[in-house]
Amino acid sequence: MIRYYLKYRCFKMSSNSDKWLRLCFEPKELQLKGTLNGGQSFRWKQIDSEWIGVFNSKLWRIKQYEHGIEFKVYTSNDDEPLVKKQKIIESSCSTDIESIKELRDYFQLDFNLREHYTQWCKADELFNSVANDFYGIRMLKQEVLENIFSFICSSNNHISRISSMVEKLAIFYGKEICSYNGSTYYAFPTIEALNQDGVETKLRDNGFGYRAKYIANTAKIIAEKGGNKWITALQAMPYKEAKSELMTLTGVGAKVADCICLMSLAHTSAIPVDTHVYQIARHYISDMPKQKTVTDKLYQRIGDHFRKLYGPSAGWAQTVLFCADLKKFQARD
């Protein structure tokens, strides 16, 4: 474990209780801004030079610098009554190595992104034209359950509203982690917490609309399938089987299933096709018909084109194009 810690040149910035930890890697292997606000995860916000967010039931503060990232991590204190949890509990030195491993896994830093960018630039002029500005866009390795419900919330929605809904789910049904800078942060709820009477009504009363029913029904289905045992089995399934299994959930169509396959199940060839990706695909497929909805046949054709163009990790490459297109779209608003 110590060899792993030193291998990646990770060290404490100071020995006091207000320390920042540093995780080092090659330049341009990770861009926090493009990765954390590109529509993958909805629990991150930027405050000045920091990104603050929740994953693995912990609160993380992360800052970018040229050769890596600096971070602090906070966890809950189960020994104190809930009403007294006002002071943040910071990660101790004994868990520094564990926290570094969690970050490496979350950002999938063992995936050599610069090497793949070089290949994708050679394969595609459009990718080459955006690669310099949209460098270091990585796929996050997210918790399956949170990803399922987050993308159910994404149906006919925009990022700020999706973020609000996901945060409400955590506040209503998640476990409190800590309070920091005037805000209280919560872990994403368990399937047991979401599978209880009154969830649909409460969510509908709080602005979830038709998604309230989708969330309540899906929580019930997952619980009936075995809960965490079903998630473990899902993680072991091949791509097509996992996608089909996900589509048995209420509110999970092909696009949402592919998001979950790509972002939580390590199926790097999954291509989620939405209106942005459809418009990007028109750049490549000259005879593609203009239509308001993407048929199953067209969905498959678009995905196959990107997989042929970029290879086994096409989902990563397509995400870079998605982020570039999303930036243009936001600039027009």
CA distance 306 to 226: 35
Residue 281 to residues 268, 291, 292, 300: CA-CA distances in angstroms? 18, 13, 14, 12
235-284 pLDDT tens trace: 999 999 999 999 999 999 999 999 999 999 999 999 999 888 998 998 89
Which pTM was predicted? 0.87
Tell me the domains of the chain and their CATH numbers: 2-110 (3.30.310.40), 144-332 (1.10.340.30)
Examine the pLDDT at 130 and tell me if it is beyond 90: yes
Give the list of residues 6+ apart from residue 222 with CB closer than 8 angstroms, or none.
145, 148, 191, 195, 230, 231, 249
Side chain identity at residue 147, one-letter code? N
CA distance 18 to 20: 7
309-333 pLDDT tens trace: 999 999 999 999 999 887 654 543 3
197-242 pLDDT tens trace: 999 999 999 999 999 999 999 999 999 999 999 999 999 999 999 9
Known catalytic residues are 255
The DSSP element (H or E) to which 202 belongs, if any, is: helix 199-205
Examine the pLDDT at 88 and tell me if it is beyond 90: no
Q: Distance between alpha carbon 289 and the CA centroid of its chain, in Å?
A: 31
Asked if 157 and 203 touch (Cβ cutoff 8 Å), the reply is no
Say if strands 183-186 and 176-180 run parallel, antiparallel, or are unpaired: antiparallel
Asked if 247 and 258 touch (Cβ cutoff 8 Å), the reply is no
CA distance 132 to 130: 6
